[in-house]
Chains A and B, each alone.
Chain A
């Protein structure tokens, strides 16, 4: 199985901050990497697919980059509604696997 490692596992940030979350795959996954946002008690919501494509309806302050084994999710200016847990997910091979999550909390 491909292991997905996210860092940090949690972070505290203020509204307006630039936030970067990283995801590393245990082997190359090309650009087969997706990012999700999950709020408490809710289902995940896809933000970025194919490493860098913004899902329809997602604000442009979210962006993704990377290929191979190293990927980043960037929130350019953190908004109150962005406090949530973020997961990366690879679709290069089955079983599909997710990172352990990054919880973004209010500073």
Chain B
């Protein structure tokens, strides 16, 4: 049973870089592709991007190329970096497994990591 767990700082200062890691347990990270999704307080879900196990990733253009997603197969982890954050980036950040082809969906989710952007 694959499980995901996000980790990282809960507080980030404006203009700095938000960094989160998702640890995959119960399965190999190399078998699937992986997503980051976020949810601002009281609002809906926003897809940030996904990464293939090859290391190539796609991001949401709304984030204006501030995103880097990387994968480390040796530690079974993948990571999110979001640069130049502002208060609008305050959200719960989820990692999730990408399943299915050609229609794909997120079938396993982490519990979420709350990140607040504030000085």
Q: Point out residues on A near B: beta carbons under 8 Å.
A: 1, 31-34, 36, 42-46, 49-50, 55, 87, 89, 91, 94-101
B111 at the interface (CB under 8 A from A): yes
Across the two chains, which residue of chain B brings its CB closest to A90? Answer: B103
Chain A residue nearest to B45 (CB atoms) is: A98
B44 interface residue, CB < 8 Å from A?
A: yes
* Residue B62 lies at the interface, judged by CB distance under 8 Å to chain A: yes
Number of inter-chain CB pairs below 8 Å = 61
For residue B14, CB closer than 8 A to chain A, the reply is: no
Closest to B46 in A: A98
Query: In the assembled complex, which residues on chain A have CB atoms less than 8 Å from the CB atom of B110?
Result: 43
Q: Which B residues fall within an 8 A CB radius of A?
A: 35, 44-47, 58, 60-62, 94, 96, 99-100, 102-107, 109-112
Which chain A positions have C-beta within 8 A of B109?
43-45
Q: How far is the CB of A89 from chain B (nearest CB, A)?
A: 7
Q: Which of A42, A49, A95, A99 has the most CB of B within 10 A?
A: A95
Of B94, B99, B103, which one neighbours A43 at CB under 8 angstroms? B94
Q: A31-B103, A32-B103, A49-B100 are in contact. Are A43 and B111 (CB under 8 A)?
A: yes
Q: Which of A32, A91, A98, A100 has the most CB of B within 10 A?
A: A91
**Which chain B positions have C-beta within 8 A of A55?**
107
* CA distance in complex: A87, B35 (Å): 17
Which B residues touch A94, using CB under 8 A? 58, 60
Listed by A's residue number, 8 A-B pairs whose Cβ atoms lie within 8 Å are: A43-B94, A43-B110, A43-B111, A45-B109, A49-B103, A91-B100, A91-B103, A91-B104
Most buried by A among B47, B94, B110, B112: B47
Which residues of chain B are within 8 angstroms of A45 by Cβ–Cβ distance?
109
